[in-house]
């Protein structure tokens, strides 16, 4: 079986009409590669769902129940992140497929 490229392409982003609450973040998943390194084109069913994406918006942070203050999030808008396969809730907004997830579902930030 031919190996697929590990790099994925980011989609163009537009202005969002949605704002995450609390410790939630909105992530746009990267596009899956449609061609292998050897030049073979992959059908839609053979593509792996990318587990990387770009953070489009972040919430205010989690609420500290003891002090009533917000705990700032580690990720910020524009960060490229890695997340687990089943992370977040998929939503479709203005023909864009987005993921809304908690910050704890994000595994790493890609530098």
Domain boundaries defined on the chain: 24-110
Task: Could you list the beta-strand ranges (E) of 36-93.
Answer: 52-58, 62-63, 70-71, 80-83, 89-93
pLDDT of 89: 93
3-class SS at 53? strand
DSSP state of 46: G
What b/e readout covers 94-106, taking b as 16+ CB neighbours within 10 angstroms?
Answer: eebebbbbbbebb
Query: Predicted confidence band at 5 (pLDDT cuts at 50, 70, 90)?
Result: very low
> What CATH number was assigned to the domain covering residues 24-110?
2.30.33.40
pLDDT in tens, 6-30: 444 445 545 778 899 999 999 999 8
pLDDT in tens, 63-111: 999 999 999 999 999 999 999 988 999 999 888 899 999 999 999 999 8
pLDDT of 50: 82
pLDDT of 85: 86
pLDDT of 94: 85
pLDDT of 14: 57
């Amino acid at each position: 079986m031919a190996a697929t490229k590990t790099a994925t392409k980011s989609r163009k982003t537009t202005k969002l009409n949605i704002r995450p609450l609390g410790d939630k973040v909105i992530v746009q998943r990267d596009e899956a590669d449609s061609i292998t390194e050897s030049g073979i084109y992959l059908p839609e069913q053979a593509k792996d769902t990318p587990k990387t994406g770009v953070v489009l918006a972040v919430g205010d942070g989690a609420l500290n129940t003891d002090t009533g203050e917000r705990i700032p999030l580690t990720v910020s808008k524009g960060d490229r992140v890695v997340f687990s396969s089943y992370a977040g809730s998929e939503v479709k907004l203005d023909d864009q497929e987005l993921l809304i997830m908690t910050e704890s579902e994000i595994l790493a930030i890609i530098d």
